Amino acid sequence: MPSKRPAKKTVAGKKAAAKTSSATRKKASVRKKVAKKKKQKPGAADAQTELLPPKGQDPKEESDETLEPEGLEPLDQEGAAQVAVEEQSSTEDVDSTDLEMVHFRAKSSPPSDERLARARDLVQKGQIADAIELYRDILADTPRNVKARNNLGVLYDELGHPELALEQFEAAEGIDPLNVDVLINYGSVLGVLARYGAAEELLLRAASIDPESVPVRTSVGILYFRRGAYAAAELELRWVCEQDGELGRAFYYHGETLNRLGRFDEALVALEQATVLQPRNARAFYTLGHLYDRKYMTEEAALMYRQARELQRS
């Protein structure tokens, strides 16, 4: 009985097998390259997270009338650019063009700190609309950037849009509830809107964190003035004026507070200093004119009233 031997493969069969083996090795090699690139190149969301500074580590920014504190933002990873790498099926080959596209899409925007510096330069140049647009772009990429949220809120507030400012300050406070600069700005806007209880809670929290802060106690004093708590306001604002003789805002509100308390001579001194430090504060000139009138200094009073009218027209 003849023995069974394996049938010899035809030449065509050998070529087909070799071609299949080569294609399999090619796909495996390409998949390894893709996996390696995906492992080495972080996704956009990861890159954004790396740009965020630790809470409370940003240096404070100084300003006379308006504070520009550390950065802000809400919602984990919301709005962050995502890099989606499509999965390749086992029957599809990935060519070099696909690999280049994966690498291109993973490129991140310029670092947030560079764009923050650029936005600050735009504000200093008076290009407020451009600065607002840039802050919004930053927040589209890094929605938890507290500094960008805070500074955007400040700009909205200065443009007379307190509700838009509140959205940014509320989001910033939710991210970093111990950020003193954010608490000051958030509480101050609430005070302007006569939401005194919420404003006081925020400002007293800031005071508990930094009880010797001139900006904090200025904001607390102004809030007390707005609430009609003039005795408490006078104590806070007097302390501030003793600490910083160049803070025109504090001298103005201190003068107004003293005027409400009937301490007219002291109010006159404070408001005279306020008009020197804030030469475009029409209300300071008007109240000062009223105080001169009380002392029968008619010429000085007339000069103050005229100055107030000119500033209002301009």
The DSSP 8-state label assigned to residue 194 in this structure reads: T
pLDDT of residue 110: 66
Mean pLDDT for each 10-residue chunk of the chain (314 residues)? Answer: 47 47 48 43 34 33 34 30 29 37 42 88 95 96 96 96 96 97 97 96 97 97 98 98 97 98 98 97 97 96 97 92
pLDDT of residue 111: 76
Q: How many Cβ atoms are within 10 Å of 23's Cβ, its own excluded? A: 11
Mind giving me the DSSP string for 64-128? Answer: SSS---S----STTTT------PPPPTT----HHHHHHHHHHTPPPSPHHHHHHHHHHHHHTT-H
Same fold, 45-50+61-79+111-204 and 212-314: yes
pLDDT of residue 47: 31
The hierarchical CATH code for the domain 45-50+61-79+111-204 is: 1.25.40.10
pLDDT of residue 194: 95
The hierarchical CATH code for the domain 212-314 is: 1.25.40.10
Domain boundaries, given as residue ranges, for the chain: 45-50+61-79+111-204, 212-314
pLDDT of residue 25: 52
